[in-house]
Amino acid sequence: MTAVVCLPTYNERENLERMVAALADKGVSVLVIDDNSPDGTGRLADRLAAQNGHVRVLHRARKEGLGPAYLAGFRRALEDPESQLVLEMDADFSHDPDDVPRLIAAAQDADLVLGSRYVAGGSIGSWGIVRRFVSAGGSWYARVLLGVGVRDLTGGFKCFRREVLEALDLEAIDSRGYAFQIETTYRALRAGFRVAEIPITFVDREHGGSKMSPSIVLEAIWKVPLLRLRALAGRL
Ligand SMILES: Nc1nc2c(ncn2[C@@H]2O[C@H](COP(=O)(O)OP(=O)(O)OP(=O)(O)O)[C@@H](O)[C@H]2O)c(=O)[nH]1
Ligand SMILES: [Mg+2]
């Protein structure tokens, strides 16, 4: 199946070229979505696209968070009728490019595949206690409040069948950070799609800085009950 890996970048100059190279033999095309990174990642992406047939670039004017970047990427990916699978992946090597074929294979039997840190066989590498708590606590909080069985709701290594993205009301999604990951998976579940989790090992970034911020965590805290209320009101 034809797969597009959406790779959002903000100041990922030290990671992008290696990531593009690592994805070259995975049988996927790559769509870099750069939010005008001050470090020149966008220019690097253009050069890589000129050199590699499997790479395209979507430039956006400014940083608005992961959610809007992915939504723009999804729309672009879906414009090509050949794209049957659309993946989300971090550009910082926290997600192992060698796991991409496993996600794609699992999409044979599921509509949305999640690379999961919190199922048997999944793990987190070198994160400190605070990041672990925020991540595990966030997934637990969302799972309980939303009443779903998914273990890793905040992860960003995902593979959507095109039908899922076509069915979701992308216009209505306004989450920016972790909440975006929770919201897309929850909407897919609500729409009756089959969601599968496969174990991954998540490793901390080695190069570049984190874009994680308190506002990203706060957004998820208030957004989760709002999502549940909207669902209960039949508006999701
Ligand atoms: N286009 C775009 N990409 C973003 C934005 N924020 C984050 N990213 C990218 O999204 C991916 C995940 O962001 P990270 O900063 O790694 O967030 P994280 O994984 O929660 O945090 P760390 O791994 O600790 O840095 C990376 O490829 C980032 O470059 C944004 O506003 N716009
Ligand atoms: Mg990261």
Mean pLDDT of all residues belonging to the chain = 96
Most ligand 1 atoms within 8 A of CB, residue of 5, 6, 10 to mutate = 10
Helix or strand holding residue 3 (H, E)? strand 3-9
pLDDT digits (tens, 9 = 90+) for 104-113: 999 999 999 9
pLDDT digits (tens, 9 = 90+) for 74-113: 999 999 999 999 999 999 999 999 999 999 999 999 999 9
Pull the structure tokens for residue 7.
Answer: 């790779």
CA 160 to CA 138: how far, in whole Å? 22
pLDDT digits (tens, 9 = 90+) for 104-157: 999 999 999 999 999 999 999 888 899 899 889 999 999 999 999 999 999 999
Report phi then psi at 136, rounded to 5: -65, -40
C-beta 88 within 6 A of ligand 1: no
Ligand 1 centroid from CA 67, angstroms? 10
Pull the structure tokens for residue 10.
Answer: 């903000």
Ligand 1 centroid from CA 186, angstroms? 21
pLDDT value at position 167?
Answer: 97
Query: Any idea which residue has 């593979």 for tokens?
Result: 159
Ligand 2 centroid from CA 205, angstroms? 6
Q: Nearest Cα to 69, choosing from 23, 37, 47, 99? A: 37
Residue 77: count other Cβ atoms within 10 Å of its Cβ.
Answer: 26
Q: Which segments of the chain does DSSP mark as H helices, in order?
A: 13-23, 41-51, 66-79, 100-106, 129-146, 162-167, 178-190, 214-232
Residue 233: count other Cβ atoms within 10 Å of its Cβ.
Answer: 8
Res. 235: pLDDT tops 90 = no
| Size (the chain), residues | 236
Q: Nearest Cα to 34, choosing from 51, 19, 53? A: 19
pLDDT value at position 47?
Answer: 98
> Atom 13, ligand 1: which residue's CA is nearest?
211
pLDDT digits (tens, 9 = 90+) for 197-215: 999 999 999 899 888 889 9
